[in-house]
Amino acid sequence: SQDLGPSGSAAPPPETAAVGEATGQKPAPFDGAEPVKIAIVQNSGAGDYFQQWTNGARQQAQALGMEIQVYDAQADNARQATDMQTAIGSGVDAIIVDHGQSDTMCPLINDGLTAGLPVVIYDVEISACAPEAVETAQDDANLASLILDKMSEDIGPNQPVGYVNVLGIAPLDRRNAVWEQVRAQNAWDQKFFVGEFTNSVATDNAQLVDAALKANPGVAGIFAPYDELTKGTVSAVQQNNLQSQIKVYGVDISTADIEVMTAEGSPWVATATTDPNAIGAAVVRVTALELAEQLDSREVVFPGTLVTQDLLKQNGIQNLDQLRAKLPELNMTGVATADWIPVVSF
Amino acid sequence: MALPEVDGSGAKQTAPGPDKQAVAVARPSTGAGVREFAVRYGFIAITVGLFVFFAVSEESFRQPSTLFSMLKFASVVAVVGLGVTLTMVVGGLDLSVGSVAGMSVTISAMAMVFYAQVGGVAIAVVLLAGALVGALNALLIVVLRIPDLLATLASMFVIMGLKLVPVDGQSVSSGMVLRDGSVAPGRFTPDFLAIDRAFLGPVPLPVVIVGLLAVGTWFFLNRTRWGRLMYAVGANPEAARLAGVRVGRYRALAYVLSGVFAAIGGLILSSRIGQGDISAGNSLLLDAVAVALVGTSVLGLGRPNAWGTILGAVLIGILITGLTITGFPYYGQDIVKGIVLLLALLFSFTLSRRRSRYAPAAVI
Amino acid sequence: MALPEVDGSGAKQTAPGPDKQAVAVARPSTGAGVREFAVRYGFIAITVGLFVFFAVSEESFRQPSTLFSMLKFASVVAVVGLGVTLTMVVGGLDLSVGSVAGMSVTISAMAMVFYAQVGGVAIAVVLLAGALVGALNALLIVVLRIPDLLATLASMFVIMGLKLVPVDGQSVSSGMVLRDGSVAPGRFTPDFLAIDRAFLGPVPLPVVIVGLLAVGTWFFLNRTRWGRLMYAVGANPEAARLAGVRVGRYRALAYVLSGVFAAIGGLILSSRIGQGDISAGNSLLLDAVAVALVGTSVLGLGRPNAWGTILGAVLIGILITGLTITGFPYYGQDIVKGIVLLLALLFSFTLSRRRSRYAPAAVI
Amino acid sequence: MATIELHDVRHAFGGNPVLRGVSIEWDAGEVLALMGANGAGKSTLIKVLAGVHPLQHGRISVDGASPDPADGPQAARRLGIETVHQRIDEGVVPGLSVAENLLFERIAQGDLPAVGSLRRLLPAAREVAAGLGLDWSDAVLRGDVHELGIADQQLVLLARALSRRPKLLVLDEPTSALSGAETERLFGVIDDMRRGGVAVLYVSHRIGEIERLADRIAVLRDGSIRSEQTRPYDWQAAVRDMLGERGARELAEVHDRRGDEVALELRGVRLFAGAAPFDLELRRGEVTGVVGLLGAGKSELAMGVFGAEPFAAGTMRLGDEPYAPTSPAAAVAREVYLVPEDRAAQAMLPGWSIARTASLPFLRALSPRGVLRRGEERADGRDVIDRFDVVASSEDQGVDALSGGNQQKVVVGRWLRGQPRVMLLDEPFRGIDIGARHDLSRRVRELAAGGSAVVVLAADVDEVLEVADRVVVLAEGVPRLDARTAGVSRDLIVARMAALDGEDVA
Ligand SMILES: Nc1ncnc2c1ncn2[C@@H]1O[C@H](COP(=O)(O)OP(=O)(O)OP(=O)(O)O)[C@@H](O)[C@H]1O
Ligand SMILES: Nc1ncnc2c1ncn2[C@@H]1O[C@H](COP(=O)(O)OP(=O)(O)OP(=O)(O)O)[C@@H](O)[C@H]1O
Ligand SMILES: [Mg+2]
Ligand SMILES: [Mg+2]
């Protein structure tokens, strides 16, 4: 699952990472006796995505010998603002901002930069207002294109389709942009567009999609670009016994999602995803590079991978570990690295 | 009848009135029959009216399957609301129900996925856990004398956190990797999934369950000694105690039952979601309290009661399903929900001349 | 002392008692000083103890900036909690505060971003809107006689939905595209952003604001005629009415003030978030009610009061900040929050021998 | 010249006429006592007079001025009408201090400075208390009014009304919670007011008080004034007018039935932490009257025996077995019953019907397998109504709508069934009329005759003498006298109640 607050899927955080070899000489400030301290100012929902993201970050930080402090605002933007202030005042060497509203965080990120702290952000749009910060993001356009290409391939043009999404949330908006484009290209007839962001996204959206399906019979495919939305959609399709007629396309993956995708007669045929563990680790590597003044770009993006139901079924994949073993590119071991960094993989 | 002034010392008698016992009879109020009708049946009328409106305007709403999926949707709120109703009967209010339902989802998933137990075991464990939380609330409230709202608020926080500890804050799903690196051995069993998916004739099982629980609760509250005594405890605990009622036991019973009802709600949810979603149950508290509160007023009874609660849940079910099918944006649904609630309340309180007698002992 | 039965007419004397009028007078309770102390100051002791514990164990907690960011964190809950306290004083409970705070965030953002107004205008509009919602609640409760909890629950739903209509359910941020395709002309103005970001000497402005509001509320409730009458309205509305108090007006006043306080909380939030976050204020209701409830008990007063509420908010601020810095997982924080709440309640209720006599008229 | 004038005042509750045209006048400086059976409409009349119930028909005037009916209690108060209502809990404001309660109306009217600490209110409060001769310390004045006993609360309300220097003072059964000393003090103040030209309307069921106070009596029956008298009063006639057919079944005889078998034995009981321990035996077949001033410990004694509030120390035996009830439920299971003193707080359930209220203690018998037999329940409710002449439309009527006395009949009557081992009645006569009082006395004596040990606890000596075989006088938590009713003088009892040396009196 992705960026969006509460999420239900699984893989435990004490996931043990394999630590790669570091050959190079440690640059400053990693060569001192004092460990480098960083803070992660996170705005998560109660979900596995963030658990895994944080796990990845922790593993990588540990491998690098850094101390890490995690502030989690739990989908409360105001609290994230307070957390950021606390973090700036707490004497760390760098701050990672993981998710959050740009208007909220921008001034505070600039405060951090003014205080002389490198700030690395993940999935907050700030390039305009805080150009000094390092911006990292999952490549949402890439993800959406991957999965929508698969969708057009599967169902073909001029089909009646459904769309489940919530606008106003940056990554979903970016995926929406690709959707609009691909939909136009394929001349798909969008029969319904529903979706709401609540405390229990999957359950509540199942209700919405259920109603939408009842009101709009005959759609061939549904795009739900966030796995909680996808799960809700899948369950609504099943409730209406339409799994043989409708194909569902999603974004993100988790162990729970794998279970849903591989279940008997599941309409969820493919998903495009990154591995949150790997992203957390990569963001920490970016931070380390920035601290060592070895980062040459202000922007790093993480590419996605397409996972199909067939692949899962054919290889008997049940969980993320097995999936990573099958698709090692999920680990992104080549992104943001240097010879002195022991890269972790999962 | 003007009375001639009585002066002087003489005990002057007035004309003797009718020589009968002065029996002041409170006749059943005549007139204002329409208003009385509105007070008593206004809410039901709204519910039926809405139903008819949706059925006429939306073809898909007319399908029996829609009717049942609506009732299914309402079933979780209804059963949790019944538990809340019981605690309101004894003059309290259980704020921990949402978290208990959420906890039940996690526990049932753990039982089946982590420990590969069959559905029956999961159900038993969940019900036990619900009763346990209820007993804990009862301990806080009855023995340690912490006011209901505060005690259940505190236990709400504790449970919300505690349920996440064994699962490290993650949703439980089959095939997940455990702490020791092994793969979780079990999965949601078909018999457990049947709780939400099975039918009894044309009626979904959760609807049947709620129906049975509602009848049971109604019978318990209105036809048995224990129910009566629970109402007594809620109406005036000191008077109940001095009438020989073991007040503490009845309050404890209400909280235990409330915990069990919330657990049943959690079981239905769990079976519906099919995995140990850690966010499940979050939005239940307000809805359950809302339907129980609405329930106190809808039938003009002015006290918490089983049918009222069920009716409240059904109304909300109809509303949400109907509005969704009509294509209302979700925030429009909230507005309409609020307005219909208000309308129902206007019937019950503004039109009703008598004030509600239901007064939970004290918030504090 | 066995008394020999006096039989027949013989008036046998017992030892003469002290020769005073036996006028039953409430004696101030003697003895059990420790316990009394625990009841009155236990909560303060916990707060101070926690503070010291965190300060000793975590270096970064000792920084003055941390102290202030903790108080800043508590400020929103504190000010909204003060409003809830006022409604509890008149025997009610305002459940709409969270939604009013959320609405304020959206409205202030709309004023500045959509209509390019200056901060002052945004503030005025928000306060007005808060008062308006309060007046609406008052109308429902006082004039239409709908019980507080139900009325404010309904208006909570309506507001939650209503605020999303003009923004199509989206967060308002500068540069967003409007319905007509143009780009929103305004942005959050620096003076508005200063609400949360400015300092008065070393003290953040929100902390100053809450301090002033707390002193004001305390003075109003405890030192003025109107405050006394508000307590009276909550404790015994009938007696207040008989004494010529315009009960309805005081209840209305409480709800209007509660609306305004919630709006102030929303302003601080809005300035902190710096955009019209539609999800803002969602979690405020439970926290605000919790601190107000805790506030009734913490000083051993047994009635809602301003300092208690502030203290409750500060405790939660210390806890959350401290636990975060200590690296507790978020769900651990919930548990600790619940447990500390319980501990405080144990001091106030279990140890306290007298039961709180303050009983707000009725929840319903 | 009449100062106070009521003309054809009528009042109905939802089509149910309670006042059918009351016309009466009285003068400044005159005390008019209003008598009437339970449910005659006395309290209703007073509430109309005080503006609590809006005037539906007729006219009220004070010195020729009539209140504006739209203005409720305020209008009445502006005319100088001050009222102390029958129900104390309708007057005091818990959560506020005693001082604030004493000054409550002045605070409400804005007569006092709008801003100020509690300390600044104390002098004024002390003054109000002193108006009734109450010498309360600052600690008491600062305390929550709810920590006072019911009697002190009544005193607060009285002092508050007196302090307003009314033209018309209306007192609805003001002494039902007071004992002799307070009552006397109140009467002294009323005498002063009468001399000062205040008109008083006084409602009581106690003939002795009316004899002592009233310049004139009026009897209300069936919603209208049935007769008026001036001194000397013909009480026979007055009671006949009050009760009509039911008449005054006289029972002036003194009882002296002696029980032999000890039903309940108290050993080393301390009623308060500081009080001396004592022993007491209650016997089957006799009625023991326990009298004492306010705060003497009567209620402590009753509640202790009933297991509702444990004694500070001591043990009990019931018959041959040890008896240590931990709750009223345990006491009821051993057939020890108590009618508590404060019906509103301790017996009534808001919104409950007469039948439900009556059946509450004995529900088990009505639901052998847990399922209620509602037909039987209602029959039992009707039975209580019949036996105690409760004025009610049916057993389904809500108790809240009953008059005070009729409520008392229901909550007392519901316990008087079967044959308990020990029956305790704490202030059972509170607020009930003479006829009902006699009925209740008779019923209580029947219980004793049937073999129960009956205890009647009351502050009023005459009430106790009327019903008891034996009198126990409590003072400061200790029995000071234990005598046969037949062989003890009233004066001695009164002296011992005040903890005075009896022989001084004799
Ligand atoms: N000596 C004493 N020590 C401590 N408390 C006392 C003492 N005397 C009286 N009290 C208190 O005074 C109050 C009145 O006592 P109680 O109710 O037993 O009086 P009572 O004789 O039943 O009078 P009544 O029923 O007429 O009010 C109680 O709260 C009691 O605790
Ligand atoms: N609020 C009310 N609603 C309906 N009926 C009422 C109400 N108040 C009083 N009554 C009825 O009016 C009648 C007169 O009651 P009231 O209280 O005036 O009697 P009372 O003379 O004061 O009796 P008591 O001596 O018992 O106090 C009773 O039959 C009572 O049931
Ligand atoms: Mg009366
Ligand atoms: Mg007593």
% chain A with pLDDT above 70: 93
Residue carrying structure tokens 């090692």? A328
Nearest residue in B to D23, CA atom? B3
Least confident window among B26-35, B143-152, C100-109, D474-483: B26-35
CB contact under 8 A, D222 and B17: yes
- Residue-level pLDDT at B24: 37
The predicted-structure confidence for D70-100, as pLDDT tens digits, reads as follows 777 888 888 889 998 877 777 888 888 999 9
Give the integer Cα–Cα distance in Å for D140 and D146: 11
Q: What does the mean pLDDT of chain C come to?
A: 82
Distance D11 CA to ligand 3 centre (A): 15
- Residue-level pLDDT at A1: 34
Q: Is C225 on the interface with D (CB under 8 A)?
A: yes
The size of the A-B interface in CB pairs under 8 A is: 124
- Residue-level pLDDT at D499: 62
pLDDT, mean of residues D175-181 = 76
- Residue-level pLDDT at B106: 94
Identify whether the C-beta of residue D72 lies closer than 8 Å to the C-beta of residue D240: no
Band of pLDDT at residue D498, cut at 50, 70 and 90: low
- Residue-level pLDDT at D131: 85
Pull the structure tokens for residue B238.
């000191």
- Residue-level pLDDT at B348: 67
Q: Rank B4-8, B142-146, D376-380, D397-401 by mean pLDDT and report only the highest.
A: D376-380
Band of pLDDT at residue B10, cut at 50, 70 and 90: very low
Least confident window among A74-88, D20-34, D98-112: A74-88
Neighbours of A, requiring at least 3 CB pairs below 8 Å, are B, C
Give the integer Cα–Cα distance in Å for C332 and C338: 10
pLDDT, mean of residues B226-239 = 94
> Quick one: fold of C4-359?
ABC transporter involved in vitamin B12 uptake, BtuC (1.10.3470)
Residues of C in contact with D500 (CB under 8 A): 16, 19
The predicted-structure confidence for C327-361, as pLDDT tens digits, reads as follows 777 777 778 878 877 876 777 676 665 443 333 33
pLDDT of B1 strictly over 90: no
- Residue-level pLDDT at C17: 35
Give the integer Cα–Cα distance in Å for C97 and A309: 47
DSSP-based three-state secondary structure for B57: helix
Which of C146, C157, C162 is nearest residue B349 as measured by Cβ atoms? C146
Nearest residue in C to D110, CA atom? C225
Band of pLDDT at residue D2, cut at 50, 70 and 90: low
Least confident window among A194-203, B55-64, C24-33, C36-45: C24-33
Residues C160, A71, A106, CA angle at the centre, nearest 5°? 70
CA dist D156 to B264, D159, D182, D201, Å?
A: 53, 5, 12, 19
pLDDT, mean of residues C137-164 = 87
Band of pLDDT at residue A175, cut at 50, 70 and 90: very high
pLDDT, mean of residues C317-321 = 85
DSSP-based three-state secondary structure for A127: coil
pLDDT, mean of residues A253-280 = 90
pLDDT of C236 strictly over 80: yes
pLDDT of B222 strictly over 50: yes
- Residue-level pLDDT at A107: 85
CB neighbour list of residue B316: distance below 8 Å, 6 or more residues apart? B74, B77, B287, B290, B291, B337
Identify whether the C-beta of residue A243 lies closer than 8 Å to the C-beta of residue A267: yes
The predicted-structure confidence for D45-71, as pLDDT tens digits, reads as follows 999 998 888 888 899 988 888 888 777
Distance B22 CA to ligand 3 centre (A): 15
The predicted-structure confidence for A34-80, as pLDDT tens digits, reads as follows 889 999 998 876 556 787 888 899 999 999 999 888 888 877 788 88
% chain D with pLDDT above 70: 95
Domain extents in chain C: 4-359
- Residue-level pLDDT at A2: 36
Question: What structural domains and CATH numbers belong to chain D?
Answer: 4-246 (3.40.50.300), 249-335+420-506 (3.40.50.300), 349-419 (no CATH)
pLDDT, mean of residues D117-122 = 89
C95-114 burial: b if 16+ Cβ within 10 Å, else e: bbbbbbbbbbbbbbbbbbbb
The predicted-structure confidence for C2-49, as pLDDT tens digits, reads as follows 333 433 333 333 333 333 333 333 334 444 567 777 777 878 888 888
CB contact under 8 A, A215 and B60: yes
Give the integer Cα–Cα distance in Å for C249 and C255: 10
pLDDT, mean of residues B144-167 = 85
pLDDT of B11 strictly over 50: no
% chain B with pLDDT above 70: 86
- 3-state helix vs strand vs coil in chain D, percent to 5: 40, 25, 35
* C-beta neighbour count of D394 within 10 angstroms: 15
Give the integer Cα–Cα distance in Å for C251 and C89: 9
* pTM metric for this prediction: 0.78
For residues D456 and C22, the model is more confident at D456
Residue C74 class from Cβ within 10 Å (0-12 exposed, 13-18 middle, 19+ buried)?
Answer: buried
The β-bridge relationship of strands A160-164 and A189-194 is: parallel
Give the integer Cα–Cα distance in Å for C358 and A337: 65
For residues A141 and C28, the model is more confident at A141
- Residue-level pLDDT at A199: 62
CA distance B83 to chain D (A): 21
CB contact under 8 A, B174 and A318: yes
Which of C229, C235, C241 is nearest residue D73 as measured by Cβ atoms? C241
pLDDT, mean of residues D327-349 = 91
pLDDT of B264 strictly over 90: yes
pLDDT of B359 strictly over 90: no
- Residue-level pLDDT at C20: 32
- Closest-CA residue to A76 (of C286, B172, B98, B103): C286
What number is the ipTM of this complex?
A: 0.74
- Closest-CA residue to C227 (of D41, D485, D108): D108
Residues of B in contact with C296 (CB under 8 A): 364
pLDDT, mean of residues D196-223 = 88
Band of pLDDT at residue A93, cut at 50, 70 and 90: very high
